[in-house]
Chains A and B, each alone.
Chain A
Amino acid sequence: EPEVTQTPSHQVTQMGQEVILRCVPISNHLYFYWYRQILGQKVEFLVSFYNNEISEKSEIFDDQFSVERPDGSNFTLKIRSTKLEDSAMYFCASSERAGNEQYFGPGTRLTVT
Chain B
Amino acid sequence: GAVVSQHPSWVICKSGTSVKIECRSLDFQATTMFWYRQFPKQSLMLMATSNEGSKATYEQGVEKDKFLINHASLTLSTLTVTSAHPEDSSFYICSGQSGGLETQYFGPGTRLLVL
A interacts with B: no
